[in-house]
Structure formats: C-alpha cells, structure tokens
Amino acid sequence: MEQLKIILYSDEHIYQQIHQIFTYYDEDNQIEYNCFNRDNYDVKHISTNRFINYSINNISGYKHVSHVLLQKSFYRNRDIVKILRKFQYFNPDVKILLIFDDDKYYYDYLLHIIAKERLCSIAFSNDDIKKWFEFGCQNFNHDDLIIKKVKNKKIKEFLKY
C-alpha cells in the first residue's frame, strides 16, 4: 500500500489555519486528533517557495507525493502556471490546491488559465480547503472563472504580478 504524502508550500499563518481546520476536540475541549500535523510523516510543511521541483519530480525528489497545496502569494503568476503545467505533465496523479490568499481582483487572467486548462483546484477560503479534502481532493468546477473575451489589460495584469 502506497503512503500518502501532503506537501504544503506556505507561510506559518496558512499552515496554522489548515491545522486548525483539521483539529478535532473531545468533550473536554482537549485536542483528540489532528490529521494535518507537520510532525507526522504524511505532512511536510515547506515555508519557502523554493524546492517545488522536488515535489514535481517523483524520481529524484520527494517520493509518493499525493497532494500539494500552494500559497498564491509565494509565487508570481507566470511561475504558478509553469509549476501547474509541469505537475500536469510529469506527475499528473498529484492533487493540487492553490490557496488564494490575495485579493483575486488582479488575477482574473491567471484564474482563467487555471480554469480553462483545469490545472488545479482553487481555494478562496478555509471552507474551500475543507471541502476539497472532504470531497476526495477532486478538482472543483471553476468554469465561472473562464473569461469569454480576454483583453490586453488582463494579460498585462497577469504579467505584472
């Protein structure tokens, strides 16, 4: 049986939010169980935007990676698209969640690319993160993020951030 490995590329704040989502308490309000704990072998928290290639390359990188969670503010738009396309090409079985911690106003074209190519799921809130795990980490339907007609302004914004 293959062991699952979740890799989270985020700052401490995002990790603590996710940790809190998956902390279960008993009747005495004591922590009974947490299934998203970086002290486990199954969860690896990387607090830098480097080393993403170790997750993409399952031959010489991290072994048995099953889930990757990326914090949007860690990467530029073009880098995110490149990373997601590399995952799709080299390691298509990995389930990916992009955690959007920025205002999505300036990222319409990035969201359009991700939705159109179905590169990953996008979480805009803690509820989205919880739903993603509860529903088997399947890609959300983001068809509402696809832009009918892309304007040059949106492309410039994409290249800027």
Whether 60 and 95 have beta carbons less than 8 Å apart is answered as no
Angle between helices 152-160 and 77-90 (to 10 degrees): 90
- The verdict on residue 53 lying in a domain is yes
Q: Dump pLDDT digits (tens) for 21-54.
A: 888 777 777 777 777 888 776 888 899 888 899 8
Domain containing residue 35: CATH number: 3.40.50
1 domain-assigned = no
Average pLDDT over residues 134-158: 80
In a domain, 113, yes or no: yes
In a domain, 32, yes or no: yes
The per-residue pLDDT for range 67-126, each reduced to its tens digit, is: 999 999 999 999 999 999 999 999 899 999 999 988 887 788 999 999 999 999 999 999
45 is a domain residue: yes
Total structural domains within the chain? 1
Enter the pTM of the model: 0.87
Range of the domain at 42: 6-160
Q: Does residue 49 sit within a domain?
A: yes
